[in-house]
Amino acid sequence: MIYARERYSKLSKGRTQFLETAVECSELTLPYLVQHDLRNKSGSQKLTQPWQSVGAKAVVTLAAKLMLAMLPPQTSFFKIQVRDDKLGEEFDPQMKSELDLSFSKMERTIMDYIAASSDRVVVHQALKHLIVSGNALIFMGKDGLKHFPLQRYVVERDGNGNIIEIVTKELINRKVLGLEPPNPVLQPNDPNVSGSSEDDAEVYTCVKQDPSSGRWTWHQEADDQILPDSRSSAPKSASPWLVLRFNTVDGEDYGRGRVEEFIGDLRSLDGLSQALVEGSAVAAKVVFTVSPSATTKPQTLSQAGNGAIIQGRPEDIGVVQVGKTADFNTAQVLAQGIEKRILDAFLVLNIRQSERTTAEEVRLTQQELEQQLGGIFSLLTVEFLTPYLNRILLVLQRSGQIPKLPKDLTRVKIVAGINALGRGQDKEALIQFITTIAQTMGPEAIGQFLNTDEYVKRLAAAQGIDYLNLIKTQEQMQQESQQQQQAAQQQELLKQTGQLASAPLFDPSKNPEAQEQLQQVAGIAQQQAQ
């Protein structure tokens, strides 16, 4: 039997290079983010602080933008829809608006579930790790999401980049696990790992895919023993273990971060910032010189207060000045150029905050964000958003909060990007479509070619509005139309009757039978109106 501890130790060799790079990237941006192994558990390790804060600002800003684009608050970033090839076979195309309304209610249930959880906090932390180290592991448990940084897990992939095995490592108190004191052979006390002690046990979680069933299975080990009640499994399409990467390189088990792509600029900026800070401190120091043959005593000069009067000659006293102003200016200009490149690369954009800021400026800014992050969104959609939503759907269906959906008839469509509006995109597309028809073919073409009833229903579903008992049915509109026609006919006949009454033929003084004839005409008109 191969223990999880041995597998972790073996797979850690392939992680060393990536971990070392991640630690360096973290030291230039957020030093607390990535450290070696489990040394940060006790918090006693002294961290190296960078000489600039540009890296930290860049990472935090990019993580916030990615978070807003992937999981926008109070806005759907996905939609459930019927497969187009099933419309007409399993479902009547006329039912599309009703199905969209039902799916819209399910989407709101899922969004409420996400909003009530702490998932966004964990995802935001994972995004910072992705930007810095290029890797992150998220476990979707019953109590919510749990994040594993790169120093706490190892992975193995096949040639296509698919996950074969995952092994995590944690330090958990033995009293919580109900374990005996450690065996020194299995768990030697490593002085380099400040977090390890006799009270903590190294707990390994081994995750593999069952080749026969395709299900994901995992268990936990401590002291080379499987912990009781630690075995579990999940379907292949709804694995709770999400191994995330920022950038991928063919043949590598781990990803590459955004910081690694610009680590040269960050190193240069950090070195220039250090030189400018230390040089400025030297230049700011005030040092006086006194001529050896001067009558002015150095002690007298040092003890003199501000505004004091002492005996001496001004030419005997000098001030040491650092003649490095030109060098400082050169370094400052270079540092500003590097800083601008870093901020642009991490999408730290300065939009004019004023009343004159136009919608076109905002649109162009959003377009730039989308162009630069397009590839990142595609990867995160495959490795995070899709399995994340599939897992939530499975949990809500099992709890009965949403009905079970047939997999072969429906699909979940992810709408990711800086303008991740979910069904809001359907609304904008519908409005733009109607506007285009009216502009190109005239307003009368809308009523000629379009089913306005279906258009109103789809527009309501796109905005998440329950249109039941709100929008009139086809029968109600036909009934109202008939009533309006009958009322118009009645008014017309009554008008005609009034005109007949004024005719000479129906004058009672000239025709004694006129009143009776007029009543007969009015009765006929009333019957026709009915």
Backbone angles phi, psi at 100, to 5 degrees: -60, -40
Which stretch of DSSP H or E encloses residue 295? none
> What is the per-residue pLDDT across 378-395, written as a single tens digit (0 to 9) for each?
788 888 988 888 888 888
Q: What confidence score (pLDDT) does residue 372 get?
A: 75
Helix, strand or coil, per DSSP, at residue 31: coil
Rounded to the nearest integer, the mean pLDDT of the chain is: 79
Q: What is the pLDDT of residues 307-332, one digit of tens each?
A: 888 888 888 888 887 777 788 899 99
Query: Please, are residues 380 and 70 in contact by the beta-carbon 8 Å criterion?
Result: yes
pLDDT of 20 > 70? The answer is: yes
pLDDT digits (tens, 9 = 90+) for 401-418: 888 876 666 666 665 444
Strand intervals (E) in 280-340:
288-290, 317-319
Q: Which amino acid is at 453?
A: D
Indicate the pTM of the whole model: 0.74
CA atoms within 13 A on the CB side of 31: 11
How many angstroms separate the Cα of 316 from the Cα of each of 288, 299, 309, 310?
Answer: 10, 14, 15, 13
Give me the amino acid identity at 304: A
* Phi then psi dihedrals of residue 313, to 5 deg: -110, 135
Report the chain's terminal Cα–Cα distance, integer Å.
92
pLDDT range class, residue 356, cuts 50, 70, 90? low
* Residue 415: closest CA among 73, 65, 64, 76: 76
CA distance 48 to 32: 9
Q: pLDDT at residue 244 above 80?
A: yes
> pLDDT tens across 245-277, in order?
999 999 999 999 999 999 999 999 999 999 999
How many other β-carbons are positioned within 10 Å of the β-carbon of residue 368?
Answer: 14
| Helix residue ranges per DSSP H, 352-450 | 359-380, 386-398, 424-441, 444-449
Q: Where are the domains of the chain?
A: 4-43+53-261, 263-302+314-345, 425-471, 474-529
Task: State the pLDDT confidence band at 508, using cuts at 50, 70 and 90.
Answer: low
With beta carbons less than 8 A apart as the criterion, state whether 408 and 76 touch.
no
- Give residue 199's pLDDT: 79
Judged by DSSP in three states, 163 sits in: strand
User: Span 282-293, mean pLDDT?
Assistant: 84
- At 24, the pLDDT band (50, 70, 90 cuts) reads very high
pLDDT tens-digit series, residues 460-478: 666 656 555 556 666 767 7
| Section 66-92 average pLDDT | 71
Please, how many CA atoms are within 13 Å of residue 248, restricted to the half-sphere of its CB? 19
66 three-class SS: helix
Q: How many CA atoms lie within 13 A of 101 on its CB side?
A: 17
pLDDT of residue 412: 67
